[in-house]
Structure 1
């Protein structure tokens, strides 16, 4: 299982992140940004966390339940990742984008084993 969007600002208690989210923005959008955003927003919800998270890029928006965790069985990500991808042209790994396109933007069904793997990986990162 790979963590998508493993940035300092989104995973403040984790070590070995990919650095600051601000270093992963682009000056151009993917042609299918809307479809990728929909994929991110509809990943299987594994861990629902009630929260009202600030926009870590400095925007005025608060993101409801942004800390919740979604997955497609291969990658996991915070629910607010779609917001950053869409609003700040966040660069996502080419392998992830290729997978999303190969799946025709449809999130596959996540098995109980995959859900348990996400839970085991994420729980220590959320609890300091």
Structure 2
């Protein structure tokens, strides 16, 4: 089980724990003799979850901390990325058990293997949280639509292969799950689709309706692809950019362009709308 350190109750809501200690109680007038080594250790961990935006300093409110809410680990311990700010500015006191581990490692966190990273993320977030995130996320609009001719399960399979090579994969990078949804009327939003067929068959099947497949760029960054048929054999393949923030939005757009280049012989045109962030 991963050990947690530095999750003070004043931190971002997603990390808050009413039973956690207060950061105000951790403030010290001066730092440890090896505080510089501690700061180096906190900076050398492996980031396993990236949060966009920033949070105000929880003590004075006079400074913004970029990336607050992101999670870092050494494989045994996990801490929020903003912890380093509070150690550096306020000499925040940390548990002796953690400090002993830092000193034993000579102030440098060892690299964390991919397998261990996956174990930690699944322990912290749970397998089902990624699918839930896909259905609940809100954000700005924006889309990238390709107009393709003769979209069969074979050509749809090639399209998904091209997207995977470009970095947009149908299977979640940690859980391996595939998430399909279909639009519902009213305010119900999307609903999960239980279809055991391979995704290319589902997307290429006109009888399936407007089904959407979630494509993962990272464990917490995704876009969606859906197929509409405005007329005849022409298929409008619509990639949503909703909810993406910079720089992830441009990275996903670049991946879509790379994939489209592989399918240019079937492409009859495309439309890209980079909607402004709200």
Structure 1, residues 13-32: CA drift from partner, whole Å, max 9, x if none? 44464231111222331011
TM-score of the superposition, structure 2-length normalised? 0.42
Distance 1:120 1:11, change over 3 A: farther
Q: What is the distance in 2 between the residues matched to 1:8 and 1:80?
A: 13
Q: What is the distance in 2 between the residues matched to 1:50 and 1:97?
A: 29
SS of corresponding position for 2:117:
helix
Residue 116 of structure 1 is aligned with which of 115, 118, 140?
118
Q: What is the distance in 2 between the residues matched to 1:117 and 1:16?
A: 26
What is the CA distance between 1:85 and its match in structure 2? 0.8
Distance 1:12 1:22, change over 3 A: same
What is the CA distance between 1:7 and its match in structure 2? 1.3
Match in the other structure for 2:11: 10
TM-score of the superposition, structure 1-length normalised? 0.86
Give the aligned length.
125
Match in the other structure for 1:23: 25
Name the Cα RMSD after superposition.
2.0
Q: What is the distance in 2 between the residues matched to 1:31 and 1:93?
A: 15
What is the CA distance between 1:112 and its match in structure 2? 2.6
Which is strand-richer, 1 or 2?
2
What is the CA distance between 1:40 and its match in structure 2? 0.5
Q: What is the distance in 1 between the residues matched to 2:109 and 2:77?
A: 11
Match in the other structure for 2:59: 57
Q: What is the distance in 1 between the residues matched to 2:11 and 2:28?
A: 18
Match in the other structure for 2:73: 71
Q: What is the distance in 1 between the residues matched to 2:102 and 2:17?
A: 27
SS of corresponding position for 1:30:
coil
Residue 36 of structure 2 is aligned with which of 8, 26, 34?
34
- What stretches of structure 1 move > 4 A for 4+ residues in a row? none
Q: What is the distance in 1 between the residues matched to 2:64 and 2:25?
A: 21
Match in the other structure for 1:99: 101
Contact 2:45 2:111 in 1 (8 A): no
Contact 1:7 1:17 in 2 (8 A): no
> Which structure has the larger Rg over C-alpha atoms?
2
Structure 1 stretches lacking a partner, 5+ long: none
Q: What is the distance in 1 between the residues matched to 2:17 and 2:59?
A: 20
Structure 2 stretches lacking a partner, 5+ long: 127-132, 134-278
Distance 1:37 1:51, change over 3 A: same
Structure 1, residues 38-87: CA drift from partner, whole Å, max 9, x if none? 11112101111112111011141101112111000111011110000111
Could you say which structure has the greater relative contact order, defined with CA pairs below 8 angstroms and 6 or more residues apart? 1
What is the CA distance between 1:4 and its match in structure 2? 0.7
Match in the other structure for 2:206: none
Q: What is the distance in 1 between the residues matched to 2:33 and 2:120?
A: 30
